[in-house]
Chain A
């Protein structure tokens, strides 16, 4: 297992005061909180930070951790010394009961591991099982046609010997047509089993779209950059446009410039109020890579008195 340098994670020196540790934790927690940060590894960083704080904020655990010595480097292969724990008595608040306490193996080897299982709330004999939450990534196309997706969920469970293992479960989920990013679907009875005759909890899945190579999504609306030739933009044309679920013909008005936004009404994400698809024109220049094409450009230069910088006075 890898050694974790909690001081480095916390961004403080080894002789930092408890007050400095607390300040640094608060600052970094705000920075890496997964609901606040958009950084890809925010969740991992935040968990690491929580683990580091769990140790450093507690003077007993911090002293025990310091006992390992200052010569370890983060990521270095680590085995706890054989006499580890000797002479230390941990009577702090304990580690159980803290939500999401999925600390690293390193932490567990030093301080043990406390878990809260997703069991029923309270002590009622027939309580409903806990609800579960997960995110799923779907393709934009899935919301246009509706789709069945097989998803694999991993959840920590406690086995008969009391060890925590990761259990996989496969579900076939119908993705309803018209669902948008950030919305949820609820699968009744797919959470934790209930106690006694209590009902099982529910599973909530939050939808996220995989990045699409062509379309950008804003709520119900789609945006597409459509390359057009200079003559299509100047003279007007009817061109084919790929949209999810088919191809439509779009009329480009004569005299269109780059960046012109054209709307395909009702061609966004379907629903009782379907979204729109906005097509943004991008004029693509044909390369001047042969004598013939160069001649065409030269001819334009001669015959068209066009100065795009006229407004700049040059």
Chain B
């Protein structure tokens, strides 16, 4: 055993691929209450994998956090944040594609 290295190592997994998040996980990770998460589902920011009980894919975490930041910082309502999020996603995809093709913007 390596006694010099006292820091623990962690067995970890990729959130987006190997994990599902419960409503409580998502509330906790975003530091908000359940109703807010349900609001995000209602405006289409989040699409649950199942509704009874509510389960979300790992990628929901990033979407929820960005939508909540846009809502909080820019005074957007949740529907506006949902639209901005979709557009940001699309811009990101296009930028990545341009970069992959060697075009700098």
Q: Chain A interface (Cβ within 8 Å of chain B)?
A: 26, 29-30, 33, 35-36, 38, 46, 50, 99, 121, 128, 130-131, 133, 148, 150, 170-174, 176, 178-179, 182-188, 190, 201-202, 204, 206, 216-219, 221, 223, 225, 271, 278, 280
Name, among B28, B88, B99, the residue most crowded by chain A CB atoms within 10 Å (CB to CB): B28
Q: Report B91 CB to chain A, min CB distance, Å.
A: 9
The proximity string for B residues 70-84 relative to A, scoring 1 for CB distances below 8 Å and 0 otherwise, is: 101111000000001
A202 to B11, CA, bound (A): 13
A174 to B15, CA, bound (A): 14
Please tell me if the beta carbons of A35 and B14 are within 8 angstroms of each other in the complex: no
Contacts of B61 in A (CB 8 A): 184, 204
Contacts of B99 in A (CB 8 A): 216, 218
A133 to B29, CA, bound (A): 8
Report which of A133, A204, A219 forms a contact with B96, defined as CB distance below 8 A.
Answer: A219
Q: What size tier do the contact residues of chain B reach? A: 35 or more
Please tell me if the beta carbons of B7 and A29 are within 8 angstroms of each other in the complex: no
Contacts of B13 in A (CB 8 A): 176, 185-186
Q: Chain B interface (Cβ within 8 Å of chain A)?
A: 5, 7-17, 19, 28-29, 31, 58, 61-62, 65-66, 69-70, 72-75, 84, 88, 95-97, 99-102
Q: Report B84 CB to chain A, min CB distance, Å.
A: 7
Please tell me if the beta carbons of B12 and A173 are within 8 angstroms of each other in the complex: yes
Contacts of A186 in B (CB 8 A): 12-13, 15, 19
Contacts of A50 in B (CB 8 A): 73
> Could you pull out 26 A-B pairs where Cβ atoms are within 8 angstroms?
A35-B66, A35-B69, A128-B28, A130-B28, A130-B31, A133-B29, A173-B9, A176-B12, A176-B13, A179-B14, A183-B15, A184-B15, A185-B13, A185-B14, A186-B15, A187-B10, A188-B10, A201-B28, A216-B100, A217-B96, A218-B96, A218-B97, A218-B100, A219-B96, A225-B102, A271-B17
Name the CB-closest residue of B to A185. Answer: B12
Report which of A172, A182, A204, A280 forms a contact with B10, defined as CB distance below 8 A.
Answer: A172
Contacts of A204 in B (CB 8 A): 15, 29, 61
